Amino acid sequence: MASIFTRIVNGEIPSYKVAEDDRFYAFLDINPLAEGHTLVIPKVEVDYIFDLDEETYQGLFAFARKVATAQKSVIPCKRIGIAVLGMEVPHTHIHLVPLHSEGDLDFRKEKISLTPERFKEIAGLLSNAFNKI
C-alpha cells in the first residue's frame, strides 16, 4: 500500500504544498514544531534515508537547501534546523524547522496549532520565496 506521503504527492490526501519538481516534494508538517516547519521528501517511496540511491540522496539535500533558503527569507528565525527521524512515517522525509534556540528542535515538546488559513498563508509565502530562488 502507498505511504501517506505518496498519497499526498498524488493528491489523494491534501497538503499545504511549498515546492515540487519531478523528483521531490515539500509541504508543511501538519503538527509543526514552529511556523514554517516543512517536510521535504523524494517522490520515490523509500523508508530509510540512507537506503536512497546516491543521486536521489544528493538531489534531496539540494532541494532541501532551496526550501531552507526560502524559509529563512520569510520566517523570522536564527537559522533552519534539519532533522531526520522517520519513526512515524516509513517514507524518507527531512524536517526543516525554523529555530530561535536549541530547544526548538525538541520533538518531544508540545506542537503548535495553526488555523487552516494560517497554514495556507505560510505555504503561500514559502512557495513564492522558493520560486524566486
Catalytically active residues, by annotation: 93
Considering the rule CB under 6 A, would residue 29 count as an interface residue with ligand 5GP?
yes
Among 3, 4, 49, 121, binds ligand 5GP (CB under 6 A): 4
CA atoms within 13 A on the CB side of 82: 13
Amino acid occupying residue 124:
G
Is residue 27 at the binding interface for ligand 5GP, with CB under 6 A as the rule? Answer: yes
DSSP-assigned beta bridge partners for residue 17 = 27
The smaller minimum CB distance to ligand 5GP, of residues 108 and 132, is found at 108
Rule CB under 6 A: choose which of 10, 12, 31, 128 binds ligand 5GP: 31
Query: Shortest Cβ distance from residue 27 to ligand 5GP (Å)?
Result: 5
The distance of closest approach from Cβ of residue 9 to ligand 5GP in the complex, given in angstroms and rounded to an integer, is 11
Residue reference for cell 523524494 = 42
What's the min distance (Å) between Cβ of 54 and ligand 5GP? 22
- HSE-up of residue 71 (Cα within 13 Å, Cβ side): 29
Residues 97, 83: contact at Cβ < 8 Å? yes
49 binds ligand 5GP (CB under 6 A): no
Distance in angstroms (rounded) separating the CA atoms of residues 28 and 40:
9
Q: Which residue do the cell numbers 524547522 mark?
A: 97
Q: Which three cell numbers stand for residue 108?
A: 518531544
Site for ligand 5GP in 64-93 (CB under 6 A): 85-89, 93
List residues near ligand 5GP by CB under 6 A: 4, 13, 15, 27-31, 39, 85-89, 93
